[in-house]
């Protein structure tokens, strides 16, 4: 009988009550602005730390732009370091420089090149091309976050994975269940990192053809993973994008807002 019982971990089980959770939310789980007004207004301020946000949309609808804007704004406002995991070589330092140039005058407190250097050193960009490399990077991140207690260097506060669906879509589906189990394992690791180390995680997803309208990729099992799911669409031939809430822990789904992505 004992052979069937799984090994119980010897860590202590931590219970917290409602007031502890509220205090933690107020003190630690702040909002990170993305820099795109429409998304920030829709989300009530920005991406929340401790939560996993998914941006889904068709190709060239503005998902990578939104990721670059978030990275630039979070780094520029001294909120912490950004880890940008890039699966398709879409990270562009020149685009970050142009985004910084668009910042309003009130933010300029130092010369442009100094700020550019500081922002670039706060964004850590790594290329990940398959799921195993992703596991490796996330493990390294967890180890370094566990060990770094109060280092002088900047603590990572935003983790962007652009796009996670290109890593996960090839492995799910088919006869074997390993692909789906890897997807759920990645999801659990991301949520654990977000909550324990106070990160905000932003992932992007692409869309596939469904019965009629296109739907987000990665299927039904992924739907239960992110805290917040947003859909971005771009009006043809213009710079105006629309962001729609598909799922949110606090707000009603269906709310949408238009915003402009310059350049």
Partner 1 sequence: MTGDAGCGPREWLAVDETAADFLSRSLSTRPPILLPPPLHRAPLRPGNVVEIAGPSNSGKSQLLLMAAVQCILPKEWEGVYFGGLGKAVMYIDLDCRFDVLRLAQILRKRITHGCGSAHPPSEDFEKDVSKDKFHSFQDTLFSDCMKRFLYVRCYNSSELIATLKSLNSQSEARSKVFGIGIYFLLLDSIGAFYWIDRAPQPTTESKGTTISFQSITENVVQEIRKFLQLQPVLVLVTKAPTYGEGITASNDFQRGSSKYMLDDSTASRYSKREEEKNSSCREYMPSAWQTLVTHRIKLQDLAQEAGFSSEQDNNVLSVHTSEWVHPPLNTKEKFYIKDDGVGFIQ
Q: Footprint of partner 1 on this chain (CB under 8 A)?
A: 3-9, 11, 13-19, 21-22, 24-25, 51, 173-178, 180-185, 188, 191-192, 195, 211-213, 215, 219-221, 223-224, 227, 231, 233, 244, 246-247, 249-250, 252-256
Enumerate residues 6+ apart whose C-beta is below 8 A from 74: 32, 33, 80, 82, 157, 158
| CB closer to partner 1 out of 52 and 157 | 52
| CB closer to partner 1 out of 22 and 114 | 22
| CB closer to partner 1 out of 74 and 182 | 182
Indicate the SS3 state at residue 156.
Answer: strand
Compute the CA torsion angle 221, 225, 229, 234 (nearest 10 deg). Answer: -50
Write out the H or E segment, with its range, that includes residue 188.
Answer: helix 178-196
| CB closer to partner 1 out of 119 and 241 | 241
Cβ 131 to partner 1 shortest distance, Å:
13
Rounded CA-CA distance 163/63 in Å is 9
Strands 214-216 and 228-234: unpaired
**DSSP code at position 129:** -
| CB closer to partner 1 out of 112 and 255 | 255
Enumerate residues 6+ apart whose C-beta is below 8 A from 185: 135
Strands 207-209 and 156-162: unpaired
CB 104 within 8 Å of CB 119: no
Cβ 255 to partner 1 shortest distance, Å:
5
Cβ 126 to partner 1 shortest distance, Å:
24
Cβ 106 to partner 1 shortest distance, Å:
29
Enumerate residues 6+ apart whose C-beta is below 8 A from 170: none
| CB closer to partner 1 out of 77 and 247 | 247
């Amino acid at each position: 009988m004992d052979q069937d019982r799984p090994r119980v971990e010897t860590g202590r089980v931590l219970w917290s009550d409602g007031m502890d959770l509220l205090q933690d939310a107020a003190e630690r789980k702040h909002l990170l602005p993305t820099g795109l007004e429409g998304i920030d207004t829709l989300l009530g301020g920005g991406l929340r730390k401790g939560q996993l946000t998914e941006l889904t949309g068709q190709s060239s609808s503005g998902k990578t732009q939104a990721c670059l804007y978030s990275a630039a704004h979070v780094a520029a406002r001294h909120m912490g370091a950004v880890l940008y995991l890039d699966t398709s070589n879409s990270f562009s330092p020149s685009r970050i420089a142009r985004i910084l140039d668009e910042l309003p005058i009130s933010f300029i407190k130092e010369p442009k090149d100094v700020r550019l250097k500081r922002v670039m050193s706060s964004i850590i960009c790594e290329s990940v091309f398959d799921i195993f490399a992703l596991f490796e990077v996330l493990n390294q991140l967890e180890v370094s976050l566990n060990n770094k207690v109060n280092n002088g260097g900047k603590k990572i506060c935003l983790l962007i994975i652009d796009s996670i669906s290109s890593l996960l879509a090839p492995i799910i589906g088919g006869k074997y269940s390993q692909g789906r189990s890897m997807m759920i394992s990645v999801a659990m690791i991301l949520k654990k990192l977000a909550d324990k180390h106070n990160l905000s995680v932003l992932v992007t997803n692409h869309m596939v053809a469904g019965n009629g309208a296109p739907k987000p990729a990665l299927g039904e099992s992924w739907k239960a993973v992110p805290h917040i799911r947003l859909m971005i669409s771009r009006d043809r031939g213009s710079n105006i994008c629309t962001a729609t809430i598909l799922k949110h822990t606090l707000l009603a789904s269906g709310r949408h807002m238009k915003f402009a992505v310059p350049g």
